[in-house]
Amino acid sequence: MTKRLILTRHAKSSWDDPLMTDHDRPLNARGTAAATDLGKWLASRGYVPDQVLCSDALRTRKTWEGIAPALPGTPALDLKPALYHAGPDVMLAVLRHATGDTVMMIGHNPGIAEFANRIVARAPLSPDFQRYPTGATLVVDFGIDTWDAVTWASGAVDDFIIPREVMA
């Protein structure tokens, strides 16, 4: 059996209000457009999650809200406070409790970049992969039956994209 992970960093957020807490920052206009375009790209490729593990920060939730309308069905959204600025070990622990066959995880840098680098057996050739810019999305497959069996360096990269490559 195969499990698939869609790993997305939140889209571009707004810094307009200096008094706003980091947790409550929304997306800016570019981020909102990027999330919509990412959703269309995912749907066009058949990358449709049946479970979404999402940081509870506003910008990650808004990223999902931008992506979701383009996808068929209604994947279950599971807000995970532990994913807010999580490091790779926490992200792996959260993923090991996933129940879907195709799981989308939406999180933050720098943890998501390190997680992406550690979870794949071979990194994609994109020069953007190491820095994992806002909206970066990795699709990676694992030859496992259950998520509790996922280990570092075990994923096979299926795709990697950044918003400027898909923006309409």
> In this predicted model, what pLDDT tens digit does every residue of 139-157 receive, in sequence order?
999 999 999 999 999 999 9
* First-to-last C-alpha distance (Å) of the chain: 35
Could you tell me if residue 33 is left (phi over 0), alpha (psi between -120 and 50 degrees) or otherwise beta? Answer: alpha
- pLDDT above 90: residue 1: no
What's the pLDDT score for residue 18? 85
Classify domain 3-12+21-165 at the CATH topology level.
Rossmann fold (3.40.50)
pTM of the predicted protein model: 0.97
At a CB cut-off of 8 Å and minimum separation 6, what does 133 contact? 9, 162, 163
